Amino acid sequence: MTSHNVLITAASRRVPLVSAFRTALARAGGGRVLVTDVNPLSPAVWTSDGAYHVPVCTDPTYLDEILAIAVGERVGVVIPTIDDELTLFANARARFAAAGVCVMVSPPETTAACNDKLAACQELRRLGVAAAESFLPTEIPASPVFPLFIKPRYGRGGVGAFPVRNARELAFFLDYVPDPVVQEYLDGPEFTIDMLCDLAGRPLSIVPRARVVIRAGVSDRGRTTKDERLIQLARDCAAVMRFAGPINIQCRIVGDRPIVFEINPRFSGGIPLTIEAGADFPEMVLRLAGGQCVAPVIGRFRDNLWMTNYEMSVFVEHERVALKTYLPDQVTEVV
């Protein structure tokens, strides 16, 4: 790794993640947390140590720009944060590594499978891991058992996800939801399992969290729980899918059995609770990116720690919206 500097892409509202890496860097001897975003008013732009405006990840120049920023800023590790860019970065890991930059992302076959809500559950079920039964519209049984659940096959943040109570609603939502996938309805408490794996896929830390109140697809109130069933479910997923870096597994406990309905191979929105509970994912990420061997610390976190979120505002003078001046030696345009 060329330095301790960190680059978080599509940082948007991920201010707690920026802060957590800043804290980890301070303990490691210093370094800066830089971010990229397409919007100059994204809060993380104004709470980072430096920000760059970049095109959307579908732009053919996107990776070139990220790599140029990483090299120019002596970044040691890049943290992709949105589903849309994970496979893009996964396919470019070797290119970044050749420039001395570690990209903390799972292999492309994993990111592609997890981005496909149908393929992820079908693959887990095929490999013997408890996952929601999932169908394409053409595969729904002639006499389906209601309720069901419908959502976009490729999506995030809970957008376009709905419970379906009867045949009339099913017909409506099949037409309303773009590229839908239909799943069995999992009637039970919902959990996210934060997991960090080393670059060889070995789980280092597993922290289950109850999602008590959910707002816009993100846990607004929740608590950690040392439930061995959930910890084992994460181990089972890691045994059949090759991960690297942060992963979050979404599941529900139905009866006495946890069942996966989605996997996101990236940092979760509720990661501040996991970090506060003592599972310092940013510190471990820095060590992994530096080539260090990190020992597993599974089960070492505070149980029953609650998190309740609230909004905070960042205030920016109009004149500064056009120019971001946090970088000490230059001014970086973000519009």
* C-alpha count within 13 angstroms, C-beta hemisphere, residue 297: 16
Same domain? 72 vs 54: yes
d(Cα 73, Cα 326) in Å, to the nearest integer?
13
**Over the stretch 190-209, which tens digit does the pLDDT of each residue have?**
999 999 999 999 999 999 99
What CATH number has the domain bearing residue 34? 3.40.50.20
**Over the stretch 210-244, which tens digit does the pLDDT of each residue have?**
998 877 667 789 999 999 999 999 999 999 999 99
Same domain? 165 vs 256: no
More confidently predicted of 1 and 138? 138
Please name which of 92, 117, 120, 113 lies closest in space to residue 104, comparing C-alpha atoms. 92
Provide the number of structural domains found in the chain. Answer: 3
d(Cα 331, Cα 274) in Å, to the nearest integer?
35
pLDDT at 86 over 70: yes
pLDDT at 284 over 90: yes
Q: Which domain holds residue 177?
A: 133-184
Domain annotation covers residue 112 = no
Percent over 70 (pLDDT), the chain: 94
Element (H, E) at 215: strand 203-215
**Contact present, 10 and 57 (Cβ < 8 Å):** yes
Mean pLDDT computed over 74-89: 96
- Residue 332: its pLDDT value, please? 44
Q: Quick one: pLDDT band at residue 270, thresholds 50, 70, 90?
A: very high
The pTM (predicted TM-score) of the whole model is 0.92
**Over the stretch 12-42, which tens digit does the pLDDT of each residue have?**
999 999 999 999 999 999 999 999 999 888 9
Same domain? 270 vs 245: yes
Same domain? 163 vs 217: no
- Residue 2: its pLDDT value, please? 43
pLDDT at 1 over 80: no
Same domain? 199 vs 304: yes
What CATH number has the domain bearing residue 180? 3.30.1490.20
- Residue 215: its pLDDT value, please? 75
What CATH number has the domain bearing residue 299? 3.30.470.20
Same domain? 248 vs 292: yes
Domain annotation covers residue 208 = yes
C-alpha angle 14-19-24 in degrees, rounded to nearest 5 = 130
* C-alpha count within 13 angstroms, C-beta hemisphere, residue 149: 16
Residue-averaged pLDDT of the chain: 92
Domain annotation covers residue 113 = no
Residue written as token pair 């790794």 = 1
**Over the stretch 112-122, which tens digit does the pLDDT of each residue have?**
999 999 999 99
Same domain? 74 vs 140: no
Q: Give the C-alpha distances (Å, rounded to integers) separating 79 from 39, 128, 130.
A: 18, 31, 29
Domain annotation covers residue 161 = yes
pLDDT at 3 over 80: no
Please name which of 295, 207, 292, 194 lies closest in space to residue 245, comparing C-alpha atoms. 194
